Amino acid sequence: MKPISFLTEEEIQKLQKAEASSNKEQKKTAEQIEAIYTAGQNILVSASAGSGKTFVMAERILDQLARGVEISQLFISTFTVKAASELKERLEKKISQQIQETDDVDLKQHLGRQLADLPNAAIGTMDSFTQKFLGKHGYLIDIAPNFRILQNESEQLLLKNEVFHQVFEEHYQGENKEKFSSLVKNFAGRGKDERGLRQQVYKIYDFLQSTSSPQKWLNESFLKGFEKADFANEKDKLTEQIKQALWDLESFFRYHLDNDAKEFPKAVYLEAVQQVLDEIGSLNQESDSQAYQAVLARVVAISKEKNGRALANSSRKADLKPLADTYNDERKAQFAKLGQLSDQITILDYQERYHKGTWDLAKTFQTFMSNFVEAYRERKRQENAFEFADISHYTIEILENFPQVREAYQERFHEVMVDEYQDTNHIQERMLELLSNGHNRFMVGDIKQSIYRFRQADPQIFNEKFQRYEQNPQEGKLILLKENFRSSSEVLSATNDVFERLMDQEVGEINYDSMHQLVFANSKLTPNPDNKAEFLLYDKDDSGQEEEESQADTKLTGEMRLVIKEILKLHQEKGVAFKEIALLTSSRSRNDQILLALSEYGIPVKTDGEQNNYLQSLEVQVMLDTLRVIHNPLQDYALVALMKSPMFSFDEDELARLSLQKVEDKVQENLYEKLVNAQKQAASQKELIHTDLAEKLNQFMDILDSWRLYAKTHSLYDLIWKIYNDRFYYDYVGALPNGPARQANLYALALRADQFEKSNFKGLSRFIRMIDQVLEAQHDLASVAVAPPKDAVELMTIHKSKGLEFHYVFILNMDQDFNKQDSMSDVIISRQNGLGVKYIAKVETGAVEAHYPKTIKLSIPSLTYIQNEKELQLASYSEQMRLLYVAMTRAERKLYLVGKGSREKLEAKEYPAANNGKLDSNTRLQARNFQDWVWAISKVFTKDNLNFSYRFVDEDQLTREAIGELENKSPLQDSSQSSNRQSETIKEALEMLKEVEVYNTLHRAAIELPSVQTPSQIKKFYEPVMDMEGVEITNQTQSSEKQISFDLPDFSTKKR
């Protein structure tokens, strides 16, 4: 067909006006029309949650096809395979509809060809495109088209470990072995081996895989921070901070002396205050950094003296207590800041002193990393097996080095379209640049939903274009989609209330202003006060915190009973189907107790299917121990586990009898040797090994020998199924609770063993080693998915919920602390600064006494490490904010935020005043979890009439409600008697619960004591009871004989 020209800007404006004046029930917004029809330049669409970005993308593709563009001329990248499949389905339906509706024969034929070509169109993930590309063009760099993908994490780990040990040995025996030995020792830690180094190497390797050229980045950027280190500049910056902190302290003290000190005329602290002011007063404009550091040291010393610590109120007037407390809190904060600056002076001094040693270590590390990257790359080429990142690197290599290939693709693609652009990493961005002709990119995303930093996604790629296009429209067009068609006004108002006060450029990487705020646009959802978002807090008694945490896996927690109560209320009172309810978590660490709680109340649940606890399931552990014994029966733990398993059912008495037979002239060091001897000595030791036990032992040994013989000549897959069939183990687990899932796990074990042997790794020994390496690395394999119930509550991580929507959403574990493991690592890598590392230095103590060590080891963070740590902290907090945003915007009708904490402590917290309508930056950066942010907002902005409410529920309230519900379910009682009986029943039940709690407390050691324990373990269990000896347990009311003191409090003592 003859191509049809694209709309001009004037034509788009006319279309917008026509749409606005139409009678359509669901109209396109002006911005959606602009995003669909604008052409001829790079376009960035910033699409907020629920704004219809998928609709816009599909409509833009359909418009281009209708203008004569071929589907093969479009490059369309989606974030997931599922998203690509859904987009293809939507396009297929729409194209078919257009074919039926049009009378234009040429258009009908053209669209028919597009429909036929749709399955082969370049619509999919970046990985799927690069696979096809390398299969077609890999010959240019000597890669055969029959390569395979290393998708199995355990196989990757095995291969990586082999290469690491090979490179490790080369360096350990090389000419720079002393420097390399220092590198190994620097990361050895308590393990005193190479595992620390290996962990850091793999971490850096994962980062390098996201760069467009790993070796180039290693050579040019790895040591960048050391090369540009400027200690003079750092000292100047630190001096400025010291100046400001001393001036702030001076202002604070002078204000206090001028306004409040007259209330405390006899207070001895005033002498210390005057000392501080005299020290600060000695400084002037000509004072250098040494002078400021000296004054800082003396002021910090004064703060630690008795008179400098707190305000003592000798008059003890009760009305002065708030004034004294306010002064002491502010004084403490001021001195704490000075103490931190004093510590920074010491750290900076050590950093400068050991800079050269740290740099030399980093150079050795750079060499090792370079050799490892190259060796691992070559090994994968030998295996003709690659990771997805490798395929992307080879694709970029071909596009950069073979102009004819690059130009062919640039001519082919009319437009390069990318969905979820905010989650792009640098290797993907480079590939998109090479496929584009420079002015035909269409990028859709939302920086507020960038939550894949752990996959090396960089939201700054999106942010840089957003700011560039906003400031200079000639660079590209920025289109904002703000209208939300998904959620109720109650959900959107609550979300806006939180993020208007939480997110800005400093912490959050964007200003949550009118350009980013959500706008309600779903006219079908009418406002409903019952849908106001709720912040539910279980009022937890801190006194039982340790016990609660220790029982977390088995105890039905208060917050989960609170959630279950709300779920049952929605289901039973409002008729909400379970499948319309979602429970979202930031991680899966507490999922076991959530599943337990839901199952106890009979609530069906469906998980996201990616619980990485496959190796922890009991039936799999039994089979792994069986395979370990077949490989090497001298492993006592595995052998005992197999014998005690349902396959053989030896009990403790039988195992003891087999272990206690007499042996002459031989010391047996393992259980297997004892079993062999027991077979021989059974006839002569009948008092220990009776006939039935001897027969049982013989059967066990015969079966074990047959399995070991079978393993030598058969595959792992066949061996595993032989074990299942010989001992009917597969059938046995099928009869247990949750049997189908258990059988699926065993079936998957056989399949995984089969896949393992098909990947150039052979044998039982290597399979066991692979499993052990996965466990050693604290990894696991994904659990096997089984068919979920149709009507079930959805339990998933926030990451998995992205792109989905549910009528009712509970965000659980708001009190769960953020994961800060990355910031505690010995290595922090930054794209801007390169390597930051903690250097282990031997420092002389100067000790003369013989019993004092002459040297100690100090861990000194490099200057770059400190810079990278700050950068990482800001990036991590920003990502956590975006994670909360994604979670809150999944709700269509009502949103619940669920956490826990002591009501008394939470309500006593005080926060700095708001700054330009935002939470104070320190409040935001000191938060440990989502709950800290939302609670701070609810406290600081109480006068703002926030669009979410908070509610505390304590244990007594949950218990009363639970008992009340049980009583209400009794239809046999006469209504006149019911209320009296119910109140009496509740009283009796509460009294009984109190008695049980007291009894359990007193006898907790006996309740928890296992049947077999060592004396020291028994003592540990009884310690709480021993500690209670002599403690008087009284009622709430005090004895009339005891005298109550009404003395005024002494302000000079502070509760610590």
Confidence of residue 1009 (pLDDT cuts 50, 70, 90): very low
Residue 989's pLDDT is 56
Mean pLDDT value of segment 492-520: 94
Residue 48 annotated as part of some ligand binding site:
yes
Mean pLDDT value of segment 663-687: 76
Q: Could you tell me which of 347, 548, 616, 500 has the C-alpha nearest to residue 885? A: 500
φ, ψ dihedrals at 748, nearest 5°: -65, -35
pLDDT in tens, 459-483: 999 999 999 999 999 999 999 999 9
Which CATH superfamily groups domain 529-609+789-955?
P-loop containing nucleotide triphosphate hydrolases (3.40.50.300)
Residue 308 annotated as part of some ligand binding site:
no
pLDDT in tens, 14-59: 999 999 999 888 899 999 999 999 999 999 999 999 999 999 999 9
Mean pLDDT value of segment 544-568: 68
Residue 352's pLDDT is 94
Kindly report which listed range (173-177, 352-356, 611-615) carries the lowest average pLDDT score. Answer: 611-615
Residue 988's pLDDT is 61
Q: For residues 160 and 377, what is the distance between their CA atoms, to the nearest angstrom?
A: 10
Residues with Cβ within 8 Å of residue 1001, at least 6 apart in sequence: none
Residue 49 annotated as part of some ligand binding site:
yes
Asked whether the predicted pLDDT for residue 314 surpasses 60, the reply is no
Confidence of residue 8 (pLDDT cuts 50, 70, 90): very high
Angle among Cα 967, 968, 970 to the nearest 5 degrees reads: 75
Q: The tokens of 952 are what? A: 């505390």
Element (H, E) at 979: helix 975-1002
Q: Could you tell me which of 608, 563, 567, 930 has the C-alpha nearest to residue 801? A: 608
**Residue 506 or 741, more confident:** 506
CA atoms within 13 A on the CB side of 244: 8
422: amino acid identity, one letter: Q
Tell me which fold the domain 9-146+387-481 belongs to. Rossmann fold (3.40.50)
Share of the chain above pLDDT 70, in %: 85
Q: Could you tell me which of 582, 498, 412 has the C-alpha nearest to residue 884? A: 498
Domains 9-146+387-481 and 614-776 share a fold: no
Q: Could you tell me which of 888, 741, 874 has the C-alpha nearest to residue 805? A: 888
Asked whether the predicted pLDDT for residue 964 surpasses 70, the reply is no
Q: In Å, how far are 200, 992, 999 from 987, measured between CA atoms?
A: 60, 8, 18
Domain boundaries, the chain: 9-146+387-481, 152-383, 529-609+789-955, 614-776
Residue 1019's pLDDT is 38
Strands (E), 404-494: 415-418, 441-445, 477-481, 483-484
Mean pLDDT value of segment 292-306: 85
Residue 1037's pLDDT is 36
Q: The tokens of 660 are what? A: 């206690």
Residue 547's pLDDT is 45
Residue 318's pLDDT is 64
Are 717 and 627 in contact by the 8 Å Cβ rule? The answer is no
Distance of CA 236 to the CA centre of its chain: 37
Kindly report which listed range (143-152, 158-167, 267-276, 338-347) carries the lowest average pLDDT score. Answer: 267-276
Residue 1008's pLDDT is 45
Q: For residues 336 and 786, what is the distance between their CA atoms, to the nearest angstrom?
A: 55
Strands (E), 728-789: none
Residue 52 annotated as part of some ligand binding site:
yes
Does the domain at 614-776 match CATH 1.10.486.10? Answer given as: yes
Asked whether the predicted pLDDT for residue 306 surpasses 90, the reply is no
Are 590 and 817 in contact by the 8 Å Cβ rule? The answer is no
Q: Measure the N-to-C terminal CA separation of the chain; round to a whole number of Å.
A: 82
Mean of the per-residue pLDDT values of the chain: 85
Q: For residues 1023 and 630, what is the distance between their CA atoms, to the nearest angstrom?
A: 43
CA atoms within 13 A on the CB side of 594: 23
Residues with Cβ within 8 Å of residue 31, at least 6 apart in sequence: 479, 480, 481, 482, 483
Residue 61's pLDDT is 97
Residue 937's pLDDT is 96
pLDDT in tens, 744-776: 889 888 888 888 887 767 788 888 888 877 776
Cα dihedral 487, 491, 493, 496, rounded to 10, equals: -90
Q: Could you tell me which of 814, 803, 886, 800 has the C-alpha nearest to residue 518? A: 886
Residue 1005's pLDDT is 46
Element (H, E) at 150: none
Residue 50 annotated as part of some ligand binding site:
yes
Mean pLDDT value of segment 557-575: 92
